[in-house]
Amino acid sequence: MWLRIVLAGVVGGVVIFLVSFVTHGMFQLQSRTLLNIPDSSSFTENLKERALKPGFYIYPDMPTGQDRYDTEKMAEASKRFESGPTGLLLVARGGNDPMLEMLGKEFVTNLLSALLAAWIVGLAGADVGFGRRWLAVMAIGLIAWLSLAASYGIWYRFPHDFIHEEAICAIAEWSIAGLAIAAIARRPPVIGQPLPV
C-alpha cells in the first residue's frame, strides 16, 4: 500500500506542478490582478531612503507590544485605518532568486502536498470508490484555499480578484491531480467483496 501512496503522491505532485504552470504561467491567473504603482521609481527611492529590512509591513502602523493593551492608542490606530489608505508592503531581499531554484522549491511543496493527500486517501477502506476518493482530494485542496487564501482576503484585505483566481487555481490543480491520486492510492479489494463504484 505504501508504494501506491508514494506513487500517487509523486504523480499528483507532478500534475499539480504542471497545472499550476498552465494556470499561472500561461493563463496569467493571479499575476494579472497585480497593479503597478504609478511613478514607481520615486516610490522605490522613498523605500531605499527608509532602509527597510526585508519583511512584511502594515500601514498605517499599529500599536505593538504592551501598547496593544492601551485603549487610547488602539482607538487612534482604528481611526487611522478608517480614514485610510491602508495596506501591506512586502519588502523582499535584494536580487532575484534563480528561476530554477524557485521552480524547484515550488515542485517540492507540490510534491509534499500531494503525498499528504495520497496518504489521507490511502487511509480509506477498500469499499470507498474512486468518486469519493477524488472528492476527498478536492476537499483537501478547498480546505487549503479556505484556511489560507480566503483568510488573507478577510484579514489582510487581499483583493477579491486575487482571492477568486487563487480559488480557480486550487480547484484546477486539485481536481486534476485528484484524478491521479484517487486512481492510484486505493486499497486492494478484500477477496470475496464486490469492487466499489
Q: Is residue 70 part of a domain?
A: no
Domain count, the chain: 1
- The residues that bridge with 59 in the sheet, in sequence order, are 87
Q: Is residue 44 part of a domain?
A: no
Encode the chain (197 residues) as per-residue pLDDT tens digits. Answer: 889 999 999 999 999 999 999 999 999 998 899 999 999 999 889 988 998 899 999 989 889 999 999 999 999 999 998 998 989 999 888 777 788 999 999 999 999 999 999 999 999 988 899 999 999 999 999 999 999 999 999 988 899 999 999 999 999 999 999 999 999 998 887 666 565 65
Supply the pLDDT for residue 197: 59
Supply the pLDDT for residue 193: 59
User: Could you tell me the residue range of the domain that residue 144 belongs to?
Assistant: 2-36+97-184
Q: Is residue 88 part of a domain?
A: no
Q: Is residue 52 part of a domain?
A: no
Cell numbers placing 154: 478577510
Place of cell 497585480: 34
Q: Is residue 91 part of a domain?
A: no
**DSSP letter assigned to residue 26:** I
DSSP 84-150: S--EEEEEPPSS---HHHHHHHHHHHHHHHHHHHHHHHHTS-TTS-HHHHHHHHHHHHHHHHIIIII
Q: Is residue 111 part of a domain?
A: yes
Supply the pLDDT for residue 92: 85
Backbone angles phi, psi at 59, to 5 degrees: -140, 145
Q: Is residue 18 part of a domain?
A: yes
Amino acid (one-letter) located at 54: P
Q: Is residue 121 part of a domain?
A: yes
Supply the pLDDT for residue 72: 92
Amino acid (one-letter) located at 132: R
